[in-house]
Each structure stands twice: as structure tokens, then as C-alpha cells.
Amino acid sequence: MTFPPYTTNLQRLGHWALWLACGAILVFLIAPVLVVVPLAFNKEPYFNFPVRQYSLRWFDELFGNPVWLAAIKNSLLTAVLATLIATTLGTLAAVGLNHRDLPGKRLITALLVSPMIIPVVVLAVGAYFFFSKLGIANNLLGIVLVHAVLGVPFVVVTVSATLTGFDLGLLRAARGLGASPVQAFRRVMLPIVWPGVLSGALFAFATSFDEVVVVLFLGGPEQTTLPRQMWTGLREQLSPTILAAAFVLVVFAIMLLLVLEMLRRRSVALRGLSE
Amino acid sequence: MVTNSAADLGRRLRKAEWRGRVRAYALIAPLFVFVALSFLLPLGSVLFNSLHDPVVPEGLPRTLSALADWGGDRSQVPPEPVFAALADDLKKAVQAEKAGSIANRLNIEEIGLRTVFMRAARRIGEQETGPWAPFFEAADPAWAKPGIWGTIRNLESSQHKLFFLAATDLKRQQDGSVARQSEDRRIHITIYLRTLGVALSVTLMCILLGFPLAYWLAHLRDKTANLLLILVLLPFWTSLLVRTTAWVVVLQKEGVVNALLQSLGIIAEPLPLIFNRFGVVVAMTHILLPFTILPLYSVMRQIPPSYVRAARSLGASPSLAFWRVYLPQCVPGLSAGALLVFILALGYYITPALVGGATDQMISYFIADNIGRSLNWGLASALSAILLAAVLALYWAYDRITVLGKVRIG
């Protein structure tokens, strides 16, 4: 690092102190995520270091035990269904909200984004009351509906973001050339906004896949999901299978991050923006 | 035909604009209906249940109307007709298997009344006709005292504020006056203060750690910054339960931190780092930190470096330039990030439940506890309504800040 000649010693010190502090903060952020990785391969059933012998036994347990398998299956099913609902409805609504001057737009947006900040316990309690009356508590359907609501803000926000900067003249041109509104949407708008749609869908999927409070309230004994299984494990018997599941989820997060970054670049390129 | 007068054009433009608006609303409508059904109605039923309590009015309708007919004051035990009406209600309740829920409802108001009520319920089949007053007194002497009758009268309406009284550590006493809850049940104010305290500490920690990091990242070259941003985003995208598990691994008695400190000889005995307030604040800060860093970073990147340079060349010291020129420009990002963290922290449940001790649990925990264990749904709803009101007020403020400052998250 070279400093300009007029830098005082104090400034140099401050500079290095900032580097050091920020390095420490980054370690604080990333170390806990990485710490579970070696422990997931620990042959012995302990939650602590040192790892003397490595093995895959906890992964055998994770993918061999019917309880964990059912949890994984339920998680995937719930997340896929919730994502489908949130993405379809959210994309349509984002396109509608993109309209230039729409009375009540701010209020509608605030409402559609609010599931992100409402305490999930409150929503889960309400869903438990309301869905009990409808007879869909202790049922996967109830969980799917609430998870879809939790995913909606992400879809609305990401798709809206891709739509700002979308040239509405393109749609008009398509319409002028004889395309129906649906055709114009499908052939002109969708190809440009799909990275936003897809990243919104990924956000929604990740939200549902990680959600446990709603499942605790609305899920019967049949509806264990991966996070719920981990929650039970952490509260009752600490089994390293949790660490194996955690490892799988960290890998999942890394993949998610890579795909999202790819989509962001793709979207920037598609919309002709320069970075 | 050429009728392109200005008025006609204007009308056609308005019509086209109107059509565009209708189309936009039609696109929003499906999601709106869905959100209304699976979000607004559930939240509405929480508010409804916090004020609505039909157990006693529906379970003991004759007793309540007999009490009203009698019209005596609360220091007296009601006369025989009220007891006869109660016997009638009780028989019907036992038949419909509702006696238990009425007993539980009374017990929520006054501990011990479940037993009093159930003793009478169990024996009600033994006797066909009155006099009923001696029968109830024989079942439990409490029936011959005014107390239980006061409790029943407190619950006579299916709409009342008793749950909100309970949520603020007050209660309606058997004589009808409102007073503070007995000492051992006076827990809720403490819980709100604790929730605020934890949320504030976490917010402060997030600013303390997030500000320098965002500043540093914003002043690095783009490539390096993007690379290091991955280290912020990866924990952000990692499952909440994984991160909580990780903190159990790191902070436990034989955990990484204790092992490290012991091997360095800094401490002799392992420090208690988890299942206490420290563990809760650390884990929650870790989970919420990206919510401060990302908006701050996005705002800081847009601040032109020339302003600080101008201030410096005009003679400001580095610290003055930072305080008077740089920091004010960060305020939108800082307040948005801090407010978001504070809002999210207020509702935290999973993390404190897993890394906190008994005295570190926040309001969400007690909502869940009242639903699952204590079976006091009304109190759970009142607590939820209070939390919801706080969060909505802050969300309103947040909405104003983000619109004013055009801050984006993520």
C-alpha cells in the first residue's frame, strides 16, 4: 500500500486499523458458516473440534433415515408449490405496478412488501386461527399458502427492479406490429425480465425452504420439514446429522449465490445497462 | 371521416389511459386477493381474537341473564334462581363436553377456578332438582363466596379488553375494579423492555460493525469489493437454522472460542458464552448484519468523493470533513438499515429460543408459548396485536425514509 506523501502517521495508523477491523468483521460473518463444514464429516458423534477421523456416516443418516428423508421431501414440495404461486402472482402484479401513474400504487406496494417485515410468529398465529376454521391447519396446503405470501415481496421487488429501465416503447412496437397483448408480454417483455423473475423465484424458494415458525404452528406430525427437523434436533437431542444437513444447506446457499450473480449480470446485459 | 377535433382527441386519450389503468389493476388483482386471503385475514383473526372471547357468554347464557335479572352488587352471593340457571347451563355444557373449556377460561382469570368449576361439573349429574345453592356449596365452598361470581361477571360480554389488560400486567379484579396483576404474574412489561433492549443492542452492534465494513467496501476497487461482498452475501443466504447451529458450535462450553482462548492460556475455565444474553445478541447481530451493510454500501458507493476532498481543501480536518460532509450523506442508508434491523429483531423467535436462556426470551416466544403451552389464545392475540402495532408504526417510518432516500436493499 502506498500513501500520498502528505499522509500523517495518524492517518496511516487509522488506515491499517480500518483494514484490521474490517478483516475481523468479515471473519465474524463467514467463520460460523464455515465452521460447520468439517464437523459434518466428523466420525464421532460430537459437536466440537478437533475432528480426529473423517467419515460420511452423518450423510448416510441424513439420506437414509426415513424421518429426515420425509422432511427433505416435504421441504422441497412446499418450497416448489409456494414458489410457483408467489412467482406467478408476483410477476403479474409487478408488471401491473410498473404502470406510470397508478392511484394507490404506494399503498399497494407497501402492502405487498409487508410480509417481509411482519413478525412471522404473528402471521403464523393468525394463519393457525384462520386456517383452523377453514379446516386446512395441520395440512401442507396451509403451510404452502403462508410460505407463498412470505415469498411474494421478493418476487415483487426483484421483478419491479428489472422492469425499471424497461423500454415500454418495445411493447408498443410489438403491439403496433400486430401482436396481441399476451403475445407482446410473452415474446417481448418476458425474455427481458426473466432474470428478475427467476431471481425472485429463487428468493421465494429459499425463504420457504428455510422457514420453520409457520411449520411449527401449521404443521401436524406428518408435516416435518428440514428446518423443523433441525429445530427439533437442536432443542432435544444434538445429533451431528443436523451438521450434515447444515452442510447441505451451505452448499445450497453457495449455489444460490452463484446463480443469482449470474442472473444479475445477465439482466444487466439484457437491459443494455452498463455496470 | 375526419373528426379529429382537440376535444375528441382528449377524450380518446383519457379513455386509453383509463383502459391502461384498469389493465394494471387487473394484473395486480389476483395477487391482491391471494394476499388478502392468506395474509390480511389471518392477521385480522389475530386482532379479532384479542378482543373476542365467547366461551363464557356461550357456555353460561342462562346464568348470565339470571345474574343480570338479580342485579345485586358484587359483594353478595347471588340467590337461588342464579344457582338454578347455573345448574341448567352446567348440565348442557357437560353434555356438549364444553365444561372443560369454560373451566379453563375461568382459570385464566383466576388460578384455581378450574378445580372449583370442574368439581361442580363432575357432580351435576347426581342431582335432578334444587335447591341448587347447597349443592354447589357442597361441591366446593368457593361457590358460596362472591369471588367466583365476580369473575363470571367480568366475562359476561364476548367483547372485552381483558386480554389487553393482561398483556399490560393489569387485571380486572373480582370486585370489578382494575388493578395491577399479582407480582408473580407481572411479567409482560419486563418482556417488552427486554425485547426492546435486545433489539436495540443488536441494532447498535449492527451499526458498529456494519458502518466501517460498508465504508471500507465502498472505497475498494469494484472487483475486490464485489469479491468481498460474497463474504457478506453467503451468510445472508445461508439458512437461519444453520447459522444458529453454527453459533451453538462456536460458543458452547467446549466450543471453538472457549477452546481457542483456553489453549492460548487467556482463560482457565470455559466462559459462559451461550444460553445467555451475550449469545443471543451475537447470533442475532450475525444474522441481521447484512441488512445494515447492504443498504449502507449502496448509499456510500453513490457518494461522490469530491465532496470530502472539497471540504478538506477548504481547510476542514479529516474528522470534521467526515462528520459534517460524509456522514450526513450516509444518513438515508444508515437509518434505513438500522430501522430494518430493529424491526426484524423485534419479532425474533427462533434464534433467542435456541441460543438464549430462560431470561433472554423475547415477546414472540411468549406469543408462541401462550398458544402452545398455556393455551391462552386471547392473551397470545393481544401480545401479537401489540407487537404488530409497533412493527407497523416503524414500517411506516421505514417506508417514508426509503422513499425519500431511494435506498435499495439487495
What CATH number is given to the structural domain containing A118?
1.10.3720.10
Residue A42 lies in a domain: no
pLDDT in tens, B20-66: 899 899 999 999 999 999 999 999 999 999 999 999 999 999 999 99
pLDDT on residue A9: 82
Residue B169 lies in a domain: no
Residue B210 lies in a domain: yes
* Residue type present at position A88: T
Chain B nearest C-alpha distance from A145 (Å): 6
Query: pTM of the predicted model, to two decimals?
Result: 0.90
Residue B320 lies in a domain: yes
Residues B200 and B123 in one domain: no
Looking at beta carbons, which residues of chain B come within 8 Å of A184?
Answer: none
As for how many domains chain A has, the answer is 1
How many Å apart are CA A219 and CA A29, to the nearest integer? 32
- Helix, coil or strand: residue A253: helix
Residue A76 lies in a domain: yes
State the Cα torsion B298-B304-B309-B311 to the nearest 10°.
-90
Looking at beta carbons, which residues of chain B come within 8 Å of A254?
Answer: 234
Residues B353 and B214 in one domain: yes
How many Å apart are CA A56 and CA B233, to the nearest integer? 28
Residue A16 lies in a domain: no
Q: Where in the sequence is the domain holding A148, given as residue range(s)? A: 66-270
Residues B109 and B210 in one domain: no
The conformation of residue B182, written as its DSSP 8-state character, comes to P
Q: Which residues of A67-85 are buried (b: 16+ CB within 10 A; e: fewer)?
A: ebebbbebbeebbebbbbb
Interface list for B 317-376 with A (CB within 8 A):
318, 340, 343-344, 346-347, 349-350, 353-354, 364, 367-368, 371
- CB neighbours (10 Å) of residue A220? 11
Residue A106 lies in a domain: yes
Residue appearing with cell numbers 386519450: B13
Cβ <8 Å between A48 and B20? no
Residue B400 lies in a domain: yes
Work out the average pLDDT over B236-240. Answer: 88
Of B119, B140, B158, the position where a domain reaches its end is B158
8 A C-beta contact, residue A40 and residue A60: no
Cβ <8 Å between B235 and A106? no
Quote ipTM for the complex.
0.90
Residue B107, C-beta contacts closer than 8 angstroms, at least 6 positions apart: B113, B114, B117
**pLDDT band at B88, cuts 50/70/90?**
very high
Residue A34 lies in a domain: no
In what helix (H) or strand (E) does residue B334 lie, and over which residues does it extend?
helix B327-346
Residue B175 lies in a domain: no
* Mutation target vs A (from B34, B38, B211, B364; most A CBs, 10 A cutoff): B38
Residues B138 and B241 in one domain: no
Residues B225 and B154 in one domain: no
* Mutation target vs B (from A13, A101, A122, A236; most B CBs, 10 A cutoff): A122
Residues B193 and B149 in one domain: no
Residue appearing with cell numbers 450423510: A59
Residues B226 and B99 in one domain: no
As given in the structure block, the three cell numbers for residue B50 are 384479542
Residue B20's Cβ-side half-sphere holds a number of Cα atoms within 13 Å equal to 16
Q: Where in the sequence is the domain holding B132, given as residue range(s)? A: 55-158
Residue B372 lies in a domain: yes
Residue appearing with cell numbers 480536518: B317
Looking at beta carbons, which residues of chain A come within 8 Å of B239?
Answer: 209-210, 227, 246, 249, 252-253
Work out the average pLDDT over A33-48. Answer: 82
Looking at beta carbons, which residues of chain A come within 8 Å of B31?
Answer: 89-90, 92-93, 112, 152, 156
8 A C-beta contact, residue B107 and residue B113: yes
Residue B408 has pLDDT above 50, yes or no: no
Residue B176 lies in a domain: no
Q: Which residue of B has its CA nearest to A102?
A: B21
Interface list for B 128-167 with A (CB within 8 A):
none
- Phi and psi torsions of A36, nearest 5°: -75, -20
- Helix, coil or strand: residue A178: coil
Of B111, B140, B158, the position where a domain reaches its end is B158
**pLDDT band at B222, cuts 50/70/90?**
confident
- Alpha helices (H) in B36-112, listed in sequence order: 41-51, 55-59, 61-70, 80-95, 99-109
As for how many domains chain B has, the answer is 2
As a whole number of Å, the end-to-end CA separation of chain A is 27
How many Å apart are CA B137 and CA B159, to the nearest integer? 30
Closest CB to B30: pick one of A92, A121, A161: A92
Q: Which residues of B271-300 are buried (b: 16+ CB within 10 A; e: fewer)?
A: eebbbebbbbbbbbbbbbbbbbbbbbbbbb
Is the Cβ of B387 closer than 8 Å to some Cβ of chain A?
A: yes
Work out the average pLDDT over B114-120. Answer: 93
How many Å apart are CA B143 and CA B72, to the nearest integer? 16
Residues B112 and B205 in one domain: no
Residues B194 and B148 in one domain: no
CATH of the domain at B372: 1.10.3720.10
Chain B nearest C-alpha distance from A194 (Å): 17
